[in-house]
Amino acid sequence: MLCIIVVTLLLEATPLLVNAEMVTTCESNVIHRLSCDTGVISVQAAVFGRADSATCSEGTSPQTDCSVVGTIEVIKKRCDGKKVCELNTNIFSLPDSCSSPLKYLQTKYNCIPAIHQVTCEHSLSHLQCDEGQVIFVYAADYGRRDRTTCSYTRPESQIQNTDCSSPTNKVAESCNGKNSCVIKAKNSEFGDPCYGTYKYLEVAYACQYPEVTQEDTVECICPVFTGSSKAMLCFRLSTALLLAAAALLTSSVVHTERVISCDDSHNVQRLSCETGVISVEGALYGRKDRETCSEGRPKEQLVNTECSQPGTLDLLKRRCNGKRLCEYNTNVVRTADPCPGIFKYLETNYTCLPAIHLVVCEHSLADLYCDDGQVIFIYGADYGRSDRTTCSYKRPASQIENLYCSDPTRRVSDSCNGRNRCTVRASNAVFGDPCVGTYKYLEVAYVCEYPGLVPEVSTF
């Protein structure tokens, strides 16, 4: 019986295994891009030079079997553990043993399942595994590589340097082998790779069962039929393999994420879901212990541990539920001072719920539909703009520069909940105009459920 269970586990886990991707770039200054829709990058092989006479040959017969030594180490250090990694050949300052001018950069990589976490500077990164599992950090990087991540209300001068990267082993050294771990994203912890730039910490990790010894293996006996004779196949199977298979099968279970930002009107708190959408489960603006965000603070600023701002949870639910990404700072929730003289922090707990995520540009139609017998349930809807790239094609800069235009709305749920199909127009006439002169879009998250099984999730 045990053998059957093991084989079943491994077969069911097989779809989660990864395939190798390969990218080849011929020109020296062209962008070489690695990306993973799910999971994170793990570089397996890389060549900068030539391995054959056909690739990027342009009809010539160039030198083959030449490569720049150390290429894979450079790319692994730069890209492992990230979801997107862009580079060109200018990053290589290595001895070149390849005389051919027709070199190419070729990288083979896998997208491995991992928890990918981004924490804005001055916030706390919480790495957490289920009971019995421990953290294994694939990679961590402190810096900035785009203008949108952790950019809420930050001045342009603090987000324009996107070539700021500092791969670090400090997260692995602090967290590997632990069930949970807290790291603060700050210069005093990781150094300052780009002075004056507002940075973030990017971490990719997995939750694994601790390694077991050979004494922990289990023995099973399975009948195997060969021709007309019966044979008994005995083998020993490591408990670790069983647990690893089980971990793969349960990796899609919803987990609660926690983000803490110390009180500063400039610090950005970021919630994000790679798959599914945000559902805020708990939020506190105030203080509930003397340890969190206590560094450098006098004792009198930490004594009140029963301090909270009423309405914080409802406010963040309205702002973030149903989105894949939500950024804000404590100015958003600081409607009053719940405890004068106490240094406060914002703590948010959220899950990533499986959902259909739909973005429709202004003046277009959002078509929501379900299979026969199912009905729509809206998790969240927002009409406005929160970045410069979505629905931006050929729009003038003046129409996409306002990134703080958000109008959570019930109109979609009022119109569509309980129906099999629903069409909503993304327009000011339907939703009002939250930011005059800005080209907006409608963002909707919904699920399809059978009547009577609608999830008990509060949209707002």
Q: Which domains occur in the chain, in start order? A: 20-112 (2.60.120.740), 115-208 (2.60.120.740), 256-353 (2.60.120.740), 361-449 (2.60.120.740)
Model-level pTM greater than 0.75? no
Are 405 and 384 in contact, with CB atoms under 8 Å apart? yes
Residue 402: the pLDDT is 87
Helix axes 2-13, 239-249, angle to 10 degrees: 50
Q: For residues 40 and 114, is the Cβ–Cβ distance under 8 A?
A: yes
* Regions of the chain short of the pLDDT cut 50: 1-17, 212-252, 459-460
- What is the structure's pLDDT at 339? 93
pLDDT at 23: 86
Distance of alpha carbon 237 from alpha carbon 270, whole angstroms: 43
Copy the structure tokens of residue 156: 């342009």
Q: How much is the pLDDT for 101?
A: 64
Give the separation between CA 92 and CA 101, rounded to whole angstroms.
Answer: 15
CB 190 within 8 A of CB 142: yes
β-strand partners of 349: 258, 282
Residue 457: its pLDDT value, please? 53
Give the dihedral sign, CA 66/71/75/78.
negative
Residues 6+ apart with CB under 8 A from 113: 16, 18, 38, 39, 206, 248, 251
Phi, psi angles (nearest 5°) of residue 406: -135, 130
